[in-house]
Structure 1
Amino acid sequence: MERWPESSYRVGISGWRYAPWRKVYYPEGLPQRAELEYASRRLNSIELNGSFYSLQRPSSYQRWYDQTPDGFVFSVKGPRFVTHMKKLVDVAAPMANFFASGVLALGNKFGPVLWQLPPNLGYNADRCAAFFASLPRTTAEAAEVAKGHDERMEGRALLECLVDIPLRHAIEVRHSSYESKEFIALCREYDIALVCADTAGKWPMFGDVTSDFAYVRLHGAEELYVSGYDDDALDHWARKIRAWHRGGKPVYIYFDNDVKVRAPFDAEALARRLKITSA
């Protein structure tokens, strides 16, 4: 049976279903339903981003689990309803809906949850602290949170914890007011990974490791979501990632420069630099 070897590095892409990738990254004739299977044999992690836009279904998460090898890990992007619409306030029901939507079907392939804040949401210590304190820290705790779902999840909720494992959280911020020692200390206090996001200079980039893992999102070197990473840039990021790992911390890295089909190729090139072998 195919299996990814153990690695402290998780390198992948943010999403996998992009029409321009067909016949460029995905081989000609590969059915759309087989794209995840193909990508998950070449990269050892993928960031699920459909969960950001809408609540998925247990059957989808189960299918994604079944299509990927043992040892593969998904990061899951938290819903924008929590981050962009509710702005982290009064989110008990939407959080319950998210954890009831089927994400627990990922079992031991359930990696970190990414919370991406909008550019117009400035730093408020009380708001951040209350949100951080509400986050479940194991999948068993997430199952308990899921029981608080509202009526829209009736008949489509998954409330069973298939395997009880630690649940990590990462936060990506996009407002300059977060560039403070106070916020970094708050992330450390609540064991939240502060995302190092390369956004071609558009939004702040942090290099502080605030949890027992590091989380990196590479959106484009010169142009957001478009430009790729040349050999020098990939060497630079490989050195930074190795440095973060020297303290024994795993590092999750996702390429989001998908517009010109650079993300999967850049991810594979970085994986080779980090000596990640294939499944």
Structure 2
Amino acid sequence: MPDVRVGVSGWRYPRWRGDFYPRGLRQRDELAYLAERMSSVEINGSFYSLQRPTSYAAWRAAVPEGFVFAVKGGRFITHLKRLKGVDSALANFFASGPLALGPMLGPVLWQLPERVEFEADVLDDFLSLLPRTTNDAAALAAKHDDKLSESRALTVAEADQPLRHALEPRHTSFDSKEARAVLRAHNVAMVVADTAGRWPEMGDSTAEFHYVRLHGEQRLYGGGYSDASLERWGQRLGGWLDEGHDVYAYFDNDSDGRAPYDAVRLRALLDGRALS
């Protein structure tokens, strides 16, 4: 049965404290509070630096069974290396702890900067390196270099399970049949991104699931979504569910504190479908 996950991109925002998070709620309890109200969250810290297995294990312990984490791939791979020569970097990323999430490990998100243009061979080579199961990820993690000590690396999967990937490009050259064909060949989802018109939405997915990022309706990373807009997104996501596709949707309009409220509202609109 298809499933839909609605959540937010990250959860540690000072602006949310005393607003979405009740005044006096301990910072270490924020993830648990959020997980009572939505079914997924994107881990953002993994984009900025390699995390630790103990951190992933703590996040897993804070949420109820059935919750799902999407994990954002490291910017060293996407922004600095620009997908080229990333064998060791990928091994280090997967050794840094995502496998500690166990059955709560959802898709891995790879976000490209606007300056990275579509190059078919580069994209094809990168997607070919991505592990498609957690056992594959563990085997890749075992190849980590000395940037991670053996005591800090996690190179064993709790159980073998499929591993999904989504790509969020921002250069217009990716909004093409050629780019979609490469993604489709690797069963990697093209992210549908709402960016207040800043970057291409990319419109359709290229895998058996859909991945949506809602960065802002009128203003990038800010403001809130209107009732009418949330209704439209609810219908769109619901249509994908009716077609038999899993859906992941994350609000990133966090600067004004609206993201968690919009996520809760969209989840309510989808209630009664495949929502978990």
Q: CA deviation at 1:152?
A: 1.5
Instruction: Using the aligned pairs only, state the percent identity.
Output: 52
User: Which amino acid in structure 2 is aligned with residue 108 of structure 1?
Assistant: P
* Alpha-carbon separation, structure 2, partners of 1:102 and 1:92: 17
Q: In the alignment, is residue 222 of structure 1 matched against residue 221 of structure 2?
A: no
- Give deviations 1:181-208, integer Å, cap 9, x for gaps: 1111111111000000000000011221
> Match for residue 73 of structure 1?
68
- Which position in structure 2 is the counterpart of 1:3? none
Instruction: Report the CA distance between 1:179 and its aligned residue.
Output: 1.4
What letter is aligned with 2:266?
Answer: L
- 8 Å contact kept, 1:42–1:278: no
Deviation >3 Å, runs of 4+: 276-279
Whether 1:209 and 2:237 are equivalent positions in the alignment is no
Match of 2:129 in 1: 134
Residue aligning to 1:123: 118
Partner SS state of residue 152, structure 1: coil
**Equivalent residue runs for 1:1-279 within 5 Å:** 8-154=3-149, 155-275=151-271
**Kept after mapping to 1: 8 A contact 2:5/2:275:** no
TM-score, normalised to structure 2's length? 0.97
Question: RMSD in angstroms over aligned alpha carbons?
Answer: 1.3
Deviations 1:48-72 (A, max 9, x none): 0110000000100000010110000
Q: Secondary structure at the match of 1:239?
A: helix
Q: Name the TM-score, length of structure 1 as normaliser.
A: 0.96
Distance 1:115 1:142 in 2: 15
Q: How far off is 1:163 after superposition?
A: 1.5
**Count of residues in correspondence between the two structures:** 274
Letter in 2 for 1:61: Y
Structure 2: gaps (5+ residues): none
Query: Structure 1, unaligned stretches of length 5 or more?
Result: 1-5
Shift of 1:209: 2.1
Counterpart residue type for residue 105 of structure 1: A
